Structures are given as structure tokens and as C-alpha cells.
Amino acid sequence: MPIDVVLLVLLGACLHATWNALVKSGSDKQLDSAMVAMGASVTAIAALPFVPLPAAAAWPYIITSVCIHFTYFRLVGAAYRHGDIGLVYPLMRGAAPLIVAISTATILDETLTPLMYAGIAIISGGVLALAFEARGGGSTRRAVGVALLNAVVISLYTYIDGIGARAAGHPIAYTLWISILPPLPLFAFAFATRGTSAVLRHAASSWKRGLFGGAGSVASYGLALYAMTRAPIAAVAALRETSILFALLISVLILKERAGPWRYVAGAIIAAGGLAMKLG
């Protein structure tokens, strides 16, 4: 994998960990995840005049992706409501690349090098080890179930968007369009279940968090989709999961959460997997 692609994916991983930490630290996980989606939409609309329309072949993927991302954002909020970030984030991000790697040969007919497969296994093993280390905390079985369900959703939109970005002919334009529409069903659902006044009060108090997190979300995913046009989707999906390293740093240095020695060991394992991906 070219070094510039590796660096872009790592930057995107850092941004991804940042917006997830914003959702976790918020007062209402479901509404905060919807606010991040809204922030992403605002950011995308502002950038839209500077990119061309995606090719016609990409629009079925865009519509499908919007539907899948509605489920994804709902599950992100539910997972963080039931479990802490040390358990939920590694499970969601660690299981997804395993699913993609196992199925990529059948679905996309992409062939990875043995070293890339080794890197995928190492990264996923390290991420899942972090979740194992966190199992004794206050998280519930429901959090584990929701996180694993979302890993399936993540692997699904990874395929849809990886193929769609290639069909679009312009990965940034594709990213912007799939970022614009998800707030519509998310806020429609929120208004129907939480009431208009409650949603608007939360939006008024947390719009800065949503805008910042949304901008990071768009940039993170745009970098990943661009990388998928230059490298195998499974390889990019696995390397992107180094975001857990950045999540660990954020949790310790900014959120002042305690981290046991095992988390640092697992972090080193993930870094080794990233090196293997680069060499592959």
C-alpha cells in the first residue's frame, strides 16, 4: 500500500476516533449521534459547489448507503448508551474488517497479499483484545450485542461505499452526497419518538459539538473512500481500525479515563498490524 495512502487513512482514523469520543461524552447519545450526522450534512452542503456530480452509476449506491447509515448512527448511539467506549468502540471497529477480509474474495474478487492478510488479523486481534480487557467494566451484554450488530452494518456500508466511490468517478463527491441525506430520517425519527421541543432544545445546546464532529466524520470517511480507490477495500478497512489507538490517547489525555497496561500492549499490536499492512 503506498505510503501516502497509509498516511491519509491514519489521519482519517484520528478524525473518526475524535467524533466518536464527542458522541460518547455527550449527554444524550442518540441525539448527539444525530447531531453529528447533521454537522456532516452542513459540511457536505458547503463543499458541494466545488465538486462535480457523481456518475449516474453511483446513485443506487448513494441511496442504499443513506439507508444503511441511518441504522449505523442509531446503533452508535445505542451502543454508547449501554457500554463504555473501551468496550464498544473496539468491538464495532475490530469485528468489521474481519468480516470484510473473509468475504472480499467472494464479493469483490480482490486478492490480498499474505502480509496484508496477516496485517488484517493482527489489527483486528489487537482491537478485539482491547474489548476483552474492558469486559470487566460496567458494560452490559446488550452493549456487546449492539456493537457486534453494528460491526455487520459497518462491513455492509464498507462494501457499498467502496464500490460506489469507484463507480462515482470522484470519491469526494460521493462522500459529500452520502453525508447530506442521513439527517433526514434520523431527525424525523427523533421528532416522532422524542418530541419536537426536546430535540430542538438539545440541538440548541449541542450544535457546536455536532458541527465539529460532523466535519470530522465527513473528512474521515472521505479519506477512507479515496484510499479505497487506490488500494484494496479490505486493506483500507483494516488499517482504518487503527483509530482505536487515537481513541485510547483521547480517553487518557483528554477525557482523563484510566487505562490498564493491557490496553497499551494491545495498542502496540495494532501498530504492528499497521506496519504489516504498509509492507504488504
The answer to whether 266 touches 89, Cβ cutoff 8 Å, is no
Q: What is the pLDDT of residues 90-123, one digit of tens each?
A: 778 777 777 777 777 667 666 677 877 787 778 7
Question: Where does the pLDDT of residue 247 fall: very low under 50, low under 70, confident under 90, or very high at 90 and above?
Answer: confident
What the block records as the C-alpha cell of 6 is 497509509
The reported pLDDT for the residue numbered 110 is 67
Q: What is the mean pLDDT of the chain?
A: 81
Percent of the chain with pLDDT over 70: 87
Q: Measuring CA to CA, how many Å separate 55 from each of 60, 173, 174, 242?
A: 11, 10, 9, 31
Whole-angstrom distance, CA of residue 134 vs CA of residue 127: 11
Is the Cα dihedral 262, 80, 29, 43 positive or negative?
A: positive
Strand, coil or helix: 127: helix
Residue 207 has pLDDT above 60, yes or no: yes
Backbone Cα Rg of the chain: 18
The reported pLDDT for the residue numbered 65 is 92
Nearest to 40 by CA among 219, 215, 188: 215
Strand, coil or helix: 255: coil
Q: Measuring CA to CA, how many Å separate 188 from each of 153, 184, 223?
A: 21, 6, 29
Residue 105 CB neighbours (<10 A):
12
When mean pLDDT is compared across 42-46, 81-85, 165-169, the lowest value belongs to 81-85
Backbone angles phi, psi at 2, to 5 degrees: -60, 145
- Cα-to-chain-centroid distance, residue 25: 17
Question: Where does the pLDDT of residue 132 fall: very low under 50, low under 70, confident under 90, or very high at 90 and above?
Answer: low
Range of the domain at 274: 3-279
Give me the mean pLDDT over the 48-70 stretch. 92
Provide the domain count of the chain.
1
37-60 as b/e: b if 16+ CB within 10 A: bbbbbbbbeebeeebeebeeebbe
Question: Where does the pLDDT of residue 153 fall: very low under 50, low under 70, confident under 90, or very high at 90 and above?
Answer: very high
Question: Where does the pLDDT of residue 133 fall: very low under 50, low under 70, confident under 90, or very high at 90 and above?
Answer: low
* More confident of the two residues 132 and 215: 215
Give me the mean pLDDT over the 34-60 stretch. 91
The reported pLDDT for the residue numbered 99 is 78
